[in-house]
A and B are shown apart, each in its own frame.
Chain A
């Protein structure tokens, strides 16, 4: 645990695998820049790994001032304990005031381990971060410029704002895709600091025996247009309509949990609290009732079209355009209209 350190930097854990940075880390760099500018401090990135120095330049381009690079052959593949040791050592040395992780499988494995050792507070799956003041209603003590950590809770039915004023760093994991990914500026300058962290036998006791990675076939986050189907599509056969509309309009195919659970389509297409969070230019929700868990993953879309037979479906509450009707008739109409325009 470290005491609140007002001069502390805003840090991002730079997540990489096979020496490739995860996009969420770059999203966080931009957010960290914004927070650090509000606080008047620098942005740091903690980069443990092996042969990863090159990645520092991308981090700097995305807003980082100082990259703390811990290079060690034993950090080549991610393992919880040595990575946690590297981070805890860096925190103890440099005392950042904020430390952000992507809420990825890796980030959600690592961040709580680090927070527990530092005895610091950690908020999971944030969808927004701000700087603000807080007055304790009991003690009347005013805490200035705290990290306000906003996250959905209770199955997505409430939005909670969490703070952490006495045990720093203020730590949070942030959902992938909720912070915008901006273009980096390759002319930005920054410092790369090589750090060494001793690792003990016990920390290296867990070994990776076998490892298998699949390239992500569906890139929902990058899609400008998403056509998504829900339980109301009715069958796997009808789901072909969703694919057809997506292909006609040049979009990616998404799905609600109901459609995935019913076996209409694979889980990698799932949008919502337990799937991917998206914010495309256009989101077409077909036969999706719009449970809060689904809305949490798409309501930031610039334009939303909802097609549903049920006028009372909650999806219409977040839609810009609503079509109350049978999707088996409406979707072919849309495909025809798009093809007409293309001619």
Chain B
């Protein structure tokens, strides 16, 4: 029997380690200067799916929506044990908000067909919204269990999952299929397996092949390029190293629900955070200085 698990993963800029170079002169964020990483909690989601497969049998399929460069996180999924990976890439999906994103992911999952679990990280570090998981569950018409911490029991068509709600925890019993959003505290993601790295490091998506051919043969005609891309893609397919790539047509997405058109939220304005440069009163680190500060706070009624 076994369980078929789908994991949604995202490539994100590393917002936790923003340095000076990542901010442009005008104070906006320079995405290009930030390293792109595997969204941390999506690694926990992948691990949760792999643990179920390792214990009960079944499959793990990773789906990633993003630009061609996001193929990198799909290779990382292969290194850790995913059975199948799919890159969902389409310019028409750009500027999708969480609602449009969850719609597109729901179309991809329906295209895959049968599944028992969908795992997502609780949230992505570039937006921190934690909205795509619940919205995807609604689009799929299945229950959701957010803030997953551990699997208590799994038998037949029902699972007991423990979730952490901040000021406590609870165990929910849910029928399958179910969508689960996973916390960082749920598990320790396994490292990439050395043999799988050797095997899959040359795995490529068609979009990556096109980019590579264009870079290597800048002078070649379109026809020559196309032929070369076709040759390489076929070669990868034969070797089992072709990363499946779908666009919005492949998943029969309604374009009115995708991208800017499918996104009810619009950005009105973006401001970078500029430190208030009003200056502060410097207090010398001496008994006398500190005593005067405390006195001042008492006088203005901050203390006492």
Q: A and B from one assembly?
A: yes
Within 8 Å CB of B112, what residues of A? none
Which A residue's beta carbon lies closest to that of B165?
Answer: A105
Decide: A333 and B172 in contact? CB cutoff 8 A.
Answer: no
Contact B138 A117 (CB under 8 A): yes
Complex Cα gap A210–B152 (Å):
11
Nearest chain B CB to A299's CB is how many angstroms away?
A: 8
Q: Which residues of B contact A84 (CB under 8 A)?
A: 138
Scoring A112, A159, A167, A209 by chain B CB atoms within 10 A of each residue's CB, the highest score goes to: A112
Are A214 and B280 closer than 8 Å at their CB atoms?
Answer: no
Inter-chain contact A340/B302, CB cutoff 8 Å: no
Chain B residues within an 8 Å CB radius of A212: 168-170
Task: Select from chain A the residue with minimum beta-carbon distance to B145.
Answer: A206
The answer for the CA separation of A259 and B16 in the assembled complex, in Å, is 16
Q: How far, in whole Å, are A111 and B102 apart by their CA atoms in the complex?
A: 14
The reply to whether A337 and B134 contact each other, CB–CB distance below 8 Å, is no
| B283 partner residues in chain A, CB cutoff 8 A | 321-323
- Contact with A120, one of B13, B102, B169, B264 (Cβ below 8 angstroms): B264
- Cβ of A338 and Cβ of B294 under 8 Å apart? yes
Which residue of chain A has the shortest Cβ distance to B269 in the bound complex? A161
Report whether A209 and B266 are in contact in the complex, using a CB–CB cutoff of 8 Å: no
Nearest Cβ distance between residue A21 and chain B, in whole angstroms? 15
Q: B287: which A residues are within 8 A, CB to CB? A: 333, 336-337
Interface of B is mostly: mixed
Tell me the number of A-to-B contacts counted with CB atoms below 8 Å.
228
Residue among B126, B135, B145, B264 facing the most chain A CB atoms (10 A cut-off): B264
Answer yes or no: A123 CB below 8 A from chain B CBs. Answer: yes
Contact of A157 among B102, B132, B273 (CB under 8 A): B273
A228-256 interface with B by 8 A CB criterion: 249
Residue ID in chain B nearest A121 by CB atoms: B264
> Which B residues lie within 8 Å of A223 (CB)?
none
Interface residues of B in 130-171 (CB under 8 A from A): 130-135, 137-139, 143-147, 160, 165-171
The 8 A-B residue pairs with the shortest CB-CB distance, nearest first, are A325-B285, A155-B15, A121-B264, A317-B275, A213-B168, A116-B138, A121-B265, A124-B129
Apart from A84-B138, A105-B146, A155-B15, what are 12 other A-B pairs with CB-CB below 8 Å?
Answer: A113-B144, A116-B99, A120-B264, A153-B270, A158-B272, A208-B172, A213-B168, A214-B167, A215-B167, A320-B281, A322-B282, A323-B293
